[in-house]
């Protein structure tokens, strides 16, 4: 299959750079790599491309500055290492980009920032303004406030979410190997990577076996998970070797570099992106057959009359799954009533809501504009 049809109009690119690309053999941030990337970013910007960088390396940088040995670290230790290392990481990006007359802007995010609609839009607006100013946003997870509840888990996952947030035309995952290999990373030195993956199946995911590196939190598995997330949102993805000369230029020019993953569907609306890919599920609503047919076949909203059961204790504004009578998830959406409220009005007509609750927020439990069908994510 050809890459050109998917890359012909690429303008906005998210480039994720892993710790193993940015460090030397002793785990220290290595300036020549930053200048290599800076030159390629400058070249793309001369061609009127916009570039967003998602970069690991803060904790690795902190380890080398403080003389902290490789290996496991507690959450407070990681927070401290990230605080020290982030300044050095940004310093290298600033030097590399300012050499070409380009400014870098630091953006630190947590999952909580993207799960809240207002903060999500604020982050999106800030990114767009930085790009309008000709600044390269350099994004990292905010490891200094790291706790499991607000953690993306790895910067591969973060890069996919940023690509969706920024409505990017391409996501590039730069790593220490040349792409996805049939036998996993163990075979990375023997032959060429798989050039084109039409769809990420279970068999493809099984190829990613192998641990993450000593400096990173991910591996090929997390890169495939990120690729799956992005391609399902309509964004093509390339996994390639980060230190290859001219790698970004060659990717954008549709050269056979790395492993290419085409988008599996067209772009969803921006709000439905957020609902489907960013929010965490807080519960579920079970629907009757009539409600399933109305939502799936006729594009209707979910009314209280179509609800037969509620799972969990979610609140107004939470993202919930919509299940058919057999328990299969058919849709995801933002509920306008809490679980407790829905239990009181389920099976009833919308005209009865006010009498049952003493108030009415709106006629629908989930409006169709805030409802995403799973078939649209396939």
Element (H, E) at 340: helix 339-345
Radius of gyration of the chain (CA): 23
Q: Are 272 and 291 in contact (CB under 8 A)?
A: no
Confidence tier at 275 by pLDDT (50, 70, 90): confident
Residues 6 or more apart whose CB falls under 8 angstroms from that of 271 comprise 369, 370
pLDDT tens-place string over residues 130-143: 998 999 999 998 87
Residues 6 or more apart whose CB falls under 8 angstroms from that of 324 comprise 286, 287, 289, 292, 330
Q: What pairs with residue 191 in β-bridges? A: none
The yes-or-no verdict on residue 314 having pLDDT over 60 is yes
Q: What pairs with residue 12 in β-bridges? A: 50
- The whole-angstrom separation of Cα 210 and Cα 226 is 17
CATH 3.40.1160.10 boundaries in the chain: 4-272
Half-sphere exposure of 377 (CA within 13 A, CB side): 17
Least reliable range by pLDDT among 44-53, 121-130, 327-336: 121-130
CATH 2.30.130.10 boundaries in the chain: 280-376
Residues 6 or more apart whose CB falls under 8 angstroms from that of 99 comprise 35, 38
In the numeric block, the tokens 């993207």 are attached to 114
Note the pLDDT of residue 214. 44
Least reliable range by pLDDT among 61-65, 96-100, 169-173, 192-196: 61-65
Half-sphere exposure of 211 (CA within 13 A, CB side): 3
Phi then psi for 202, rounded to 5 degrees? Answer: -60, -40
Q: What is the CATH number of domain 280-376?
A: 2.30.130.10
Fold of 4-272: Carbamate kinase (3.40.1160)
Read off the pLDDT of each residue in 4-8 and give the average, rounded to a whole number: 89
pLDDT tens-place string over residues 219-238: 788 899 899 889 988 899 99
pLDDT tens-place string over residues 47-90: 999 999 999 888 888 888 888 876 677 778 888 888 898 999 99
């Amino acid at each position: 299959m050809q890459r050109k049809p998917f890359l012909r109009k690429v303008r906005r690119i998210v480039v994720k750079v892993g710790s193993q690309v940015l460090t030397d053999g002793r785990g220290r941030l290595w300036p020549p790599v930053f200048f290599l990337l800076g030159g390629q970013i400058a070249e793309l910007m001369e061609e009127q491309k916009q570039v967003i960088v998602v970069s690991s390396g803060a904790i690795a940088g902190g380890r080398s500055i403080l003389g902290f040995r490789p290996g496991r670290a507690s959450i407070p230790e990681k927070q401290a290492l990230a605080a020290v290392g982030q300044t050095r990481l940004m310093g290298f990006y600033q030097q590399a980009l300012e050499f070409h007359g380009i400014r870098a802007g630091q953006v630190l995010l947590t999952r909580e920032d993207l799960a809240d609609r207002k903060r999500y839009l604020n982050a999106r607006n800030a990114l767009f303004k930085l790009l309008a100013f000709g600044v390269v946003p350099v994004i990292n997870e905010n490891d200094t406030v790291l706790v499991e509840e607000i953690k993306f888990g790895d910067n591969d996952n973060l890069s996919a979410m940023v690509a969706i947030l920024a409505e990017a035309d391409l996501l590039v995952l730069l790593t220490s190997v040349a792409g996805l290999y049939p036998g996993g990373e163990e075979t990375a030195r023997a032959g060429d990577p798989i050039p084109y993956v039409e769809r990420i199946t279970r068999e493809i995911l099984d190829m990613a076996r192998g641990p993450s590196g000593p400096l990173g939190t991910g591996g090929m598995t997390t890169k495939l998970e990120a690729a799956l997330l992005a391609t399902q949102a309509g964004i093509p993805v390339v996994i390639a070797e980060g230190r290859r000369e001219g790698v970004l230029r060659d990717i954008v020019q549709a050269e056979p570099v790395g492993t290419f993953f085409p988008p599996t569907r067209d772009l969803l609306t921006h709000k439905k992106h957020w609902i489907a890919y960013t929010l965490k599920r807080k519960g579920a609503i079970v629907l009757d057959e009539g409600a399933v047919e109305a939502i799936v076949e006729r594009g209707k909203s979910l009314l209280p009359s179509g609800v037969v059961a509620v799972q969990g204790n979610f609140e107004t504004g939470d993202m919930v799954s919509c299940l058919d009578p057999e328990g299969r998830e058919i849709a995801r959406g933002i509920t306008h009533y809490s679980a407790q409220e829905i239990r009181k009005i389920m099976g009833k007509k919308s005209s009865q809501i006010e009498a049952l609750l003493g108030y009415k927020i709106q006629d629908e439990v989930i409006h169709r504009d805030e409802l995403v069908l799973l078939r649209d994510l396939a």
